[in-house]
Amino acid sequence: MSAQLHDAVEVIRTKRDGGRLSDSMVDWVVAAYTRGDVADEQMSALAMAILLNGMDREEISRWTAAMIASGERMDFSALSRPTADKHSTGGVGDKITLPLAPLVAACGVAVPQLSGRGLGHTGGTLDKLEAIPGWRASLTNDELLAQLEDVGAVVCAAGDGLAPADKKLYALRDVTGTVEAIPLIASSIMSKKIAEGTGALVLDVKVGTGAFMKDEASARELAETMVALGQDAGVHTVALLTDMSTPLGLTAGNGLEVRESVEVLAGGGPADVVELTVALAREMLAGAGRGDVDPAEALADGRAMDVWRRMVAAQGGDPDAPLATARETHVVAAPASGVLTRLDAMAVGLAAWRLGAGRARKEDPVQAAAGVEWHARPGEEVTEGQPLLTLHTDEPERFERALAALDGGVDVAPSGTAYDATPLVLDRIG
């Protein structure tokens, strides 16, 4: 048996003292932690040292590769069409995956979208789709490949085989105050996306009160880091920085967002949701070599809706089944007449979570019908007393804490006040 190359204390000290982890240190510590040979408290110390002292591009690239090597890699080369995927860093009312996956598939590019569940104030794509009666999130690799070939789009849960090191490390970061470390965020996201085997990747990096990254500088740093990781791994990767100060669309909550997504696929829906869906679709198609196809046409002529119905049905869902409606609603009136100048994304996200749309711990259940609907967007005129928000839940005792979350989250200025809208897409990186 060969002698052990490194030990945990040596690796921790190197990063603690501002040093650079060698390739062999990175390979060893990630593999040893995944096996259980490095203890949680040792990896916690290393994660904190990374948070405080950072990593350079080569270190992050090697760390990501080690996470990928901890599990399996998927291979879509046998498919008859190219593949492209999208990852969002999470926001409020961010239902974009639902219309986007069938839209891109309708344009001839397969979309293997491995998604997650919501935690805290940001919603999870799988929770939204599970509001559709019968729909199931778990597919075998064979089912996933067959559906990609037949329908062209899959939204499902990632299997345990992809980057198991990430699953372990993610849970640890959550309880040790190291979630914010950009090298660890970037490698967590990109290890799963690269292992997934997609040919092109578009990142939607959110900025603002309702986003994980509150300021543009850190969002830009995260986006640039992830784009570099994708390029280093040979995946065509671009990122859009998008605004998340105001929630997307007109709804936040699982079934509510499915309903809105279907409206977008039917050629309607809120303008911002349509704008971002089409912008991301264009990037995905260009990355997969199909930049000559206009996704706006596939949205308008119903082709994307056809793929949506087939995609839902392929995973056991009934696209025609009525969505659950909440047993209780509560209307919040506009506090004054004038121009709505602010609807804070974080306030809305917290309210939706407290109404039952989200969870505090991974094992918590969510309500399919809970959430928040808003009847005006910033820049629009409102009249004092008109319905501004409708809160939905099955448990009326939740209203009080949801209303507390919304307190201070709405501003109305006198009529005629100029409103400068922030562009939805702030920048493109890559």
Identify whether 375 is a catalytic site residue. no
Amino acid at 41: E
Please state the separation of Cα 331 from the chain's center in Å: 29
CA–CA distance, 137 with 113 (Å, rounded to integer): 11
Least confident of 148-152, 176-180, 296-300, 318-322: 176-180
CA–CA distance, 148 with 112 (Å, rounded to integer): 7
Is residue 82 over pLDDT 80? yes
Is residue 121 over pLDDT 80? no
Identify whether 392 is a catalytic site residue. no
pLDDT at 160: 82
- What are the beta bridge partners of residue 122? 119
Q: What is the mean pLDDT of residues 75-86?
A: 96
What pLDDT, in 10s, does the model give residues 330-366?
999 999 999 999 999 999 999 999 999 988 777 788 9
Do residues 277 and 75 lie in contact, with contact meaning Cβ atoms separated by under 8 Å? no
What pLDDT, in 10s, does the model give residues 363-397?
788 999 999 999 999 999 999 999 999 999 999 99
pLDDT at 28: 97
Q: Of the listed 15, 167, 192, 392, which one is catalytic?
A: 192
Closest residue by Cα to residue 274 from 248, 246, 306? 248
pLDDT at 3: 59
Q: What is the mean pLDDT of residues 202-223?
A: 96
What pLDDT, in 10s, does the model give residues 271-285?
999 999 999 999 999
Please name the residue ranges forming H helices in 74-181: 97-106, 125-129, 141-150, 164-176
CB-count burial class (<10 Å; 0-12, 13-18, 19+) for 423: exposed
Q: Of the listed 85, 166, 232, 272, which one is catalytic?
A: 166
Sheet of 381-382, strands arranged across: 381-382, 338-343, 410-413
Distances (CA, A) of 56 to 66, 85, 349, 414: 15, 26, 34, 50
Q: Of the listed 61, 115, 188, 261, which one is catalytic?
A: 188
CA–CA distance, 423 with 125 (Å, rounded to integer): 24
CA–CA distance, 113 with 205 (Å, rounded to integer): 17
pLDDT band at 1 (very low <50, low <70, confident <90, very high): very low
For residue 265, the tally of other CB atoms under 10 A from its CB is 24
Q: What is the mean pLDDT of residues 132-152?
A: 96
Identify whether 188 is a catalytic site residue. yes
Which residue has 């209307």 as its token pair? 331
Q: Of the listed 87, 220, 236, 282, which one is catalytic?
A: 87
Do residues 321 and 132 lie in contact, with contact meaning Cβ atoms separated by under 8 Å? yes
pLDDT at 116: 83
Q: Of the listed 167, 173, 354, 392, which one is catalytic?
A: 173
Ordered by where they begin, the domains of the chain are 84-161+191-314 (3.40.1030.10), 328-413 (3.90.1170.30)
Q: Quote the mean pLDDT of the chain.
A: 95
3 state SS of 277: helix
Identify whether 192 is a catalytic site residue. yes
Which pair of tokens denotes residue 116? Answer: 């997650």
3 state SS of 410: strand
